[in-house]
């Protein structure tokens, strides 16, 4: 979605309204509060205290990235969810005559080596051509031989008729010679008649002989035509013993094999051409006028994946997860209501820490920090630091202070020297080396705090059940509120921040996730969920390289991966739909860098740990673009929708599967006469 779009017709009135007002104002759909003065805990849009001396920055800061200056009005796309992908070409390969299957295979091409298994090779008795056995999934070309029937009888009949045709041709040649002789004899008799050297009866005999031989020649020619027709029919019958493909495609199923007898029209195998698909969906009647045949159609396939790894990690719900990288390998920590924290690497369980109460949160020092520590927050309000190198069963130290309630979230600063813990209302900053509390954040949230994250700009971003997101400026003496972004839907407790700290995910409504610029609180882009009867919940995260976003759906056990936009206003498609076995509800999730890609690690309410490999860059960058080929002229029986078809070339490195669904997106021009 484009940011900061101002329609010219309302600009004058809007400017007048802003000039007349003094106080908080709304930008990009969110309340942005800057330089407020009130000292008590703020509600959404109410000004908190900012005249606090925070001292020097808590750690080395980076600057905010400059906002994009691309401002334009874009046409609203026409989105068709749950469009069906189907084949445009398929063939049921059937026998054309009764027969006995000698071999199911294709002809061995010139230069192609014989198969290793001799049972996979067949040499035709008559043609001496070599054939290799066909298997399901093998590609085939149009007009190639697929099945050989026993053609010995048909071949013998054809050869006999070829011989008969040759004999008939020879008879015609002989008949032609006889006609020549008869004509020569007639010429001689006519000359003798002129000289009166022979009676006329001889002339008549010569004429009759010529007529006879001409008639016989015509009869022989007719016999040649019949012999040719008989030979051609026999050849057709012979060719029917070679069953051929009518399309390019792949073998889907082989129904009859070598040694089977078949009747005419009986199917032997099925072929599918996956190179071109039809995408069919229904468009609302009011959008039909914005579509036209020939326009591009973006196809966003619904690719469903099960996890590659699943473990029963805890006896009760997994409440939090964290990771760090040690010696080039990821180390994954999972915390649970069963009072334990498990530590894993990519191969095995390394250790388990047992606490006296349920654990609500866990965090790790960044991989760039030498001192590898973990921080746990539990129901007794205590924060505990653990050594990730020694993995001792007892903590290195407890933080010297206690929250009034359960610790809901924990985090380390980028340099690993400080950490925070947060309960329902309070956020504490701690010195990691001593365990001393440095300070308490001023009042901010009016509801339980669900997430808190340090960012490179020297800020902390926190989210709470008060449906607000707060950006805190951090110093060595204190913290102060820099910005409140409110009017969240509040269903997503875990809101991710991009690796550069410039963008945050913000749940705006049940089916929209905004990507908000933290520098000014405005919306850069919007993720729209087309999943039926579902809304965003629990978690929303950026991948380590910021090219993906992971969200959880209210449909139990379903997560979605999205491709982040590379430029403002670019549509954000769903790349994958991750399904937890048994549709167990998601409780937390994270991305873990792993070699050249990332892993999606998910914890569930049932204590299971599930892992998926994230799509590679090549996979996530793949675009499927079709072309609208048909717009139905008749409205369906409901009276509100029309069918729309698009054709899609499916020959790329990542092929879509017929029978699945996709979202079809058309972006019409702004005006009907636009090019």
3-state secondary structure of 286: helix
Q: What pLDDT score was predicted for residue 192?
A: 85
Total residues found in the chain within this entry: 675
Q: What pLDDT score was predicted for residue 4?
A: 36
Q: What pLDDT score was predicted for residue 27?
A: 37
Measuring CA to CA, which residue among 624, 629, 628 is closest to residue 653?
624
Domain boundaries, the chain: 97-150+242-263, 153-240
Mean pLDDT by 10 residues, the chain (675 residues): 34 32 36 37 47 92 80 76 94 95 93 88 92 94 95 94 94 92 88 84 88 92 94 94 94 94 95 95 91 95 93 92 90 96 90 96 93 95 95 95 95 96 95 96 92 96 94 96 91 93 91 91 89 83 95 88 87 93 93 90 95 92 94 82 94 89 89 52
Q: What pLDDT score was predicted for residue 39?
A: 33
Q: What pLDDT score was predicted for residue 532?
A: 63
């998926």: which residue's tokens?
Answer: 612
Greatest C-alpha distance within the chain = 152
* Structural contact between residues 560 and 536, judged by C-beta atoms closer than 8 angstroms: no
In order of 196, 218, 290, 625, the CA distances from 672 in angstroms are 101, 73, 7, 22
Q: What pLDDT score was predicted for residue 199?
A: 87
- In SS3 terms, 339-357 reads as CEEEEECCCCEEEEEECCC
In order of 218, 225, 335, 460, 610, the CA distances from 309 in angstroms are 84, 73, 18, 33, 6
Buried b or exposed e, range 511-534, using 16+ CB within 10 angstroms: bbbbbbbbbbbbbbbbbbbbbeeb
Q: What pLDDT score was predicted for residue 31?
A: 42
* Structural contact between residues 609 and 334, judged by C-beta atoms closer than 8 angstroms: yes
Strand partners, 23: none
Q: Can you tell me the distance from the alpha carbon of 88 to that of 277, in angstroms, rounded to the nearest whole number? A: 6
Report helix angle 200-239 to 152-194, nearest 10. 160
Q: What pLDDT score was predicted for residue 570?
A: 84
Q: In degrees, to the nearest 5, what angle opens at C-alpha 621 toward C-alphas 89 and 332?
A: 120
Other beta carbons less than 10 A from residue 320's beta carbon: 24
φ, ψ at 174 (rounded to 5°) = -65, -40
DSSP 444-484: --SS-EEEEEEETTTEEEEEETTS-EEEEEEBSS-EEEEEE
Residues ≥6 apart with Cβ < 8 Å to 347: none
Question: Model's pTM, two decimal places?
Answer: 0.80
In order of 106, 145, 235, the CA distances from 131 in angstroms are 5, 9, 21
Q: Can you tell me the distance from the alpha carbon of 179 to that of 221, in angstroms, rounded to the nearest whole number? A: 13
Q: What pLDDT score was predicted for residue 3?
A: 38
User: For 155-181, how does the pLDDT look when each residue is reduced to its tens digit (9 = 90+)?
Assistant: 999 999 999 999 999 999 999 999 999
Q: What pLDDT score was predicted for residue 373?
A: 96
In order of 103, 153, 260, the CA distances from 95 in angstroms are 13, 17, 12
Q: Can you tell me the distance from the alpha carbon of 641 to that of 282, in angstroms, rounded to the nearest whole number? A: 6
Q: Can you tell me the distance from the alpha carbon of 70 to that of 359, in angstroms, rounded to the nearest whole number? A: 46
Residues ≥6 apart with Cβ < 8 Å to 16: none
Measuring CA to CA, which residue among 166, 149, 353 is closest to residue 257?
149
Q: Can you tell me the distance from the alpha carbon of 234 to that of 238, in angstroms, rounded to the nearest whole number? A: 6
Q: Spell out the alpha helix ranges (H) of 5-151.
A: 11-20
Q: What pLDDT score was predicted for residue 510?
A: 81
User: For 346-363, how does the pLDDT look when each residue is reduced to its tens digit (9 = 90+)?
Assistant: 788 999 999 999 999 999
Q: Can you tell me the distance from the alpha carbon of 236 to that of 229, in angstroms, rounded to the nearest whole number? A: 10
Q: In degrees, to the nearest 5, what angle opens at C-alpha 59 toward C-alphas 55 and 60?
A: 110
Q: What pLDDT score was predicted for residue 73?
A: 59
| Encoded tokens for 219 | 């009869």
DSSP 488-541: ------EE-B-TTSSEEEEE-SSSEEEEEETTTTEEEEEEE--STT--EEEEEE
Q: Can you tell me the distance from the alpha carbon of 236 to that of 483, in angstroms, rounded to the nearest whole number? A: 83
Q: What pLDDT score was predicted for residue 49?
A: 61
| Encoded tokens for 355 | 């606490």
Strand partners, 592: 599
Q: Can you tell me the distance from the alpha carbon of 388 to that of 391, in angstroms, rounded to the nearest whole number? A: 5
Measuring CA to CA, which residue among 394, 403, 407 is closest to residue 359?
407
């Amino acid at each position: 979605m484009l940011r900061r779009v101002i329609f010219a017709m309302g600009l004058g009135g809007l400017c007048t309204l802003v000039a007349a007002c003094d106080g908080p104002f709304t930008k990009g759909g969110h309340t942005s509060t800057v330089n407020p003065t009130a000292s008590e805990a703020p509600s959404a849009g109410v000004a908190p205290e900012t005249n606090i001396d925070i001292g020097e920055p808590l750690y080395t800061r980076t600057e905010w990235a400059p906002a994009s200056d691309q401002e334009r009005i874009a046409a609203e796309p026409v989105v068709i969810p749950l469009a069906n992908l189907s084949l445009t070409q398929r063939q049921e390969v059937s026998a054309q005559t009764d027969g006995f299957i000698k071999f199911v295979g294709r002809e061995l091409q010139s230069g192609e080596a014989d198969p290793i298994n001799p049972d996979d090779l067949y040499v035709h008795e008559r043609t001496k051509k070599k054939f290799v056995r066909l298997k399901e999934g093998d590609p085939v070309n149009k007009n190639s031989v697929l099945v050989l029937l026993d053609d010995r009888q048909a071949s013998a009949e054809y050869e006999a008729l070829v011989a008969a045709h040759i004999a008939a041709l020879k008879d015609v040649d002989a008949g032609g010679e006889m006609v020549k002789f008869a004509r020569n004899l007639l010429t001689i008799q006519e000359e003798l008649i002129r000289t009166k050297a022979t009676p006329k009866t001889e002339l008549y005999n010569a004429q009759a002989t010529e007529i006879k031989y001409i008639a016989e020649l015509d009869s022989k020619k007719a016999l040649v035509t019949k012999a040719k027709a008989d030979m051609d029919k026999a050849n057709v019958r012979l060719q029917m013993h070679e069953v051929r493909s009518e399309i390019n495609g792949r073998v889907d199923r082989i129904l009859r094999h070598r040694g089977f007898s078949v009747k005419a029209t009986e199917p032997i195998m099925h072929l599918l051409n996956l190179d071109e698909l039809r995408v069919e969906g229904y468009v609302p009647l009011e959008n039909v006028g914005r579509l036209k045949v020939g326009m591009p159609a973006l196809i966003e396939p619904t690719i469903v994946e099960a996890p590659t790894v699943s473990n029963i990690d805890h006896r009760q719900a997994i409440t939090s997860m964290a990771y760090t990288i040690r010696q080039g390998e990821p180390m994954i920590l999972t915390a649970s209501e069963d009072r334990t924290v498990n530590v894993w690497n990519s191969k095995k369980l390394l250790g388990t820490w047992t606490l006296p109460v349920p654990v609500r949160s866990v965090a790790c020092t960044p991989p760039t920090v030498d001192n590898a520590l973990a921080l746990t927050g539990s129901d007794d309000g205590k924060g505990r630091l653990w050594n990730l190198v020694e993995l001792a069963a007892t903590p290195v130290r407890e933080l010297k202070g206690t929250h009034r309630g359960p610790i809901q979230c924990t985090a380390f600063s980028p340099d690993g020297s400080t950490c925070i813990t947060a309960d329902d209302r309070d956020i504490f900053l701690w010195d990691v080396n001593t365990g001393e509390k440095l300070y308490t954040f001023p009042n901010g949230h009016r509801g339980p705090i669900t997430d808190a994250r340090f960012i490179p700009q020297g800020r902390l971003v926190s989210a709470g059940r008060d449906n607000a997101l707060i950006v805190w400026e951090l110093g060595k003496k204190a913290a102060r509120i820099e910005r409140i972004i409110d009017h969240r839907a509040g269903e997503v407790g875990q809101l991710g921040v991009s690796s550069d700290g410039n963008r945050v995910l913000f749940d705006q409504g049940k089916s929209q996730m905004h990507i908000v610029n933290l520098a000014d609180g405005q919306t850069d882009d919007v993720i729209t969920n087309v999943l039926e009867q579902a809304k965003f919940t629990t978690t929303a995260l950026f991948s380590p390289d910021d090219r993906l976003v992971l969200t959880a759906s209210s449909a139990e056990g379903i997560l979605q991966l999205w491709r982040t936009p590379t430029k403002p206003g670019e549509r954000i498609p769903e790349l994958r739909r991750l399904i937890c076995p048994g549709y167990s509800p998601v409780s937390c999730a994270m991305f873990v860098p792993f070699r050249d890609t990332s892993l999606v690690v998910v914890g569930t309410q049932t204590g299971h740990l599930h892992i998926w490999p994230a799509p590679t860059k090549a996979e996530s960058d793949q675009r499927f673009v079709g072309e609208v080929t048909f717009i139905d002229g008749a409205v369906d029986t409901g009276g509100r929708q029309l069918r729309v078809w698009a054709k899609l070339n499916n020959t790329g490195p990542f092929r879509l599967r017929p029978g699945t669904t996709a979202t079809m997106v058309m972006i019409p021009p702004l005006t009907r006469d636009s090019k």
